[in-house]
Homo-oligomer: A and B are copies of this chain.
């Protein structure tokens, strides 16, 4: 069946071996077939579900959909590790919660922080500096930081099957966007390098920005401790409207935080695609699907209700265990 899409997607120039399987990390089966059928149906001019290239918008959640989110969102790890620097600049914070708990270093206590306390930490660590300083700081950190389980930089923990999917959809003239509950400016630092997604195609939780001047009269942008867009749950379709201005035709997520984005995508005309990554591979990655409660530091997870909704509405569930023959790119880090 892939032969059918070769001409349409402009694979003519690829070597036959590559054209034969553009999604090599995906096991043959109904999930992979749905993806191939979807791209073929929407890019083939003779198909009744053909979609004009300009309208081929595909949105991807990041944490847990494109890369590892367990045991903590990478951005939260970054924020927690920045707390000592922030407290050094403002020593009074050392005696104020939730900073006191973070400084204590007690993993157990940190794991029990509430979402409100976490937001305070994110605000204190991700704002109040220039956009340029923030970017430089995150870049430096990403080079140094290592995931505890894999001992690799976080940027090496993107899912190989999803990287293939991103490329495959772009070959089909889909414009690929990240729509993340994570901080927009954080993800923009590495999205191009890791996912081939430029900053202008990253929509995320965003703080206010102020245009200011330094003492030499040079203008710069600074990050305000003021939430402008909370890009979770209903905030995802809202953020999509604000930043993209049209409805996606394909949407990918992995948790209740993505529910409304998938619902909104499916509510458009035609036969749009909605997919959810189910974390059911304890051996190769993690398993914490419907059975598990929501950790305080996570916005959403794959609940039983979400699973049931997916089944009843034709959203496709991707089983990491069954649909993926490898999780990560094995090239040297």
A residues neighboring B (CB under 8 Å): 54, 57, 131, 175, 184-185, 188, 192, 198-200, 202, 206, 208-211, 218-219, 221, 228-229, 234-235, 237-238, 241-246, 260, 263-264, 267
**How far, in whole Å, are A234 and B245 apart by their CA atoms in the complex?**
23
Contacts A218-B267, A221-B237 given; indicate if A244 touches B209 (C-beta within 8 A).
no
Complex interface: chain B residues within 8 A of A209 (CB) = 238, 241-242
* Other-chain residue from B198, B228, B241, B245 in contact with A202 (beta carbon distance below 8 A): B245
CB–CB A221/B241 < 8 A:
yes
CB–CB B238/A211 < 8 A:
yes
CB–CB A245/B54 < 8 A:
no
The 10 listed contacts between A and B (C-beta, < 8 Å) are A54-B192, A57-B200, A188-B245, A200-B246, A209-B238, A210-B234, A211-B234, A218-B267, A219-B263, A242-B243
Q: Which of A210, A242, A244 has the most CB of B within 10 A?
A: A242
Complex interface: chain B residues within 8 A of A243 (CB) = 200, 242-243
Complex interface: chain B residues within 8 A of A267 (CB) = 218-219
CB–CB B210/A238 < 8 A:
yes
Complex interface: chain B residues within 8 A of A218 (CB) = 267
